[in-house]
Amino acid sequence: MNGRTDRLTGDPLGDRAPGERADAARNRARVLAAARTLFADGDPRSVTMEDIARAAGVGRATLYRRYPDPASIAQALLDEHERDLQQRMMSGPPPLGPGAPPAERLAAFYAAMVDLLEQHLPLVLGAEVGPARFATGAYGFWRAHVRALLAQAAAPQVDALVDVLLAPLAPDVYQYQREQRRRTPEQIAAALRTLAAGVLDGG
């Protein structure tokens, strides 16, 4: 029918929803681009809706139409990366994907998460507002994954252990280790590998 010309080739989250108006799509792209910049250079926790609106050249109500707060904008920017990781966990090559023993898969998951945190720390910090972290769909996914690995390895205390094992991946813990403790991503990943081995192999 209507061959819609996709003129927004540089658009971060390219595709626009069916029936979305052209100006809406354009503004959404502007908002996301501006937000990405703002979160990246500055304190991600203190980015305000007004900041984003001004940087995007858009009214504040336009922002509120789609996003309730800065955190959800950061979340939108993170989504594609998280989805990608989820894909690799479900159907990628081992040890991250299926096929490796649970302890190795857990270690690989830790390594992948460290990678994600390292590459997008500002966004992750911006997306984390208090207990909101646990409410994300992503947390539920990590949770289900790790829980399955624990069950597969016949670990004790499966249900209670899951959140304990996910706790070190909290963004501010990572930030603290990187910036206050001057630890490298490799050191952090190594410690998490030790943890995975201790819980799933030893003990």
Partner DNA sequence: CTAGCAAGTGGACGCGGCGTCCGAATGGGT
Partner DNA sequence: ACCCATTCGGACGCCGCGTCCACTTGCTAG
Site residues (vs DNA, CB under 7 A): 2, 4, 6, 19-24, 26-28, 48-51, 57-62, 64-65, 68-70
CA-to-CA distance for 84 and 113, rounded, in angstroms?
12
94 binds, among a second copy, DNA, none (CB under 5 to 8 A by kind): none
Q: CB nearer to DNA: give 51 or 118.
A: 51
The CA angle 184-88-39, to the nearest 5 degrees, is 50
Contact 200, 103 (CB under 8 A): yes
φ and ψ of 157, to 5 deg: 60, 35
Contact 144, 90 (CB under 8 A): no
* Shortest distance in whole angstroms from residue 55 CB to DNA: 12
How far does Cα 117 stand from its chain's mean position?
A: 7
| Of positions 40, 90, 151, 173, contacts a second copy by CB under 8 A | 173
Interaction between residue 131 and a second copy (CB under 8 A): yes
55 binds, among a second copy, DNA, none (CB under 5 to 8 A by kind): none
CA-to-CA distance for 157 and 5, rounded, in angstroms?
55
112 binds, among a second copy, DNA, none (CB under 5 to 8 A by kind): none
Interaction between residue 194 and a second copy (CB under 8 A): yes
Site for a second copy in 31-60 (CB under 8 A): 45
Interacting span for a second copy (CB under 8 A) from 11-19, 63-71, 91-99, 149-157: 149-157
Interacting span for a second copy (CB under 8 A) from 22-30, 49-57, 73-81, 180-188: 180-188
Contact 23, 14 (CB under 8 A): no
Interaction between residue 203 and a second copy (CB under 8 A): yes
Q: Is the dihedral of CA 17, 23, 24, 28 positive or negative?
A: positive
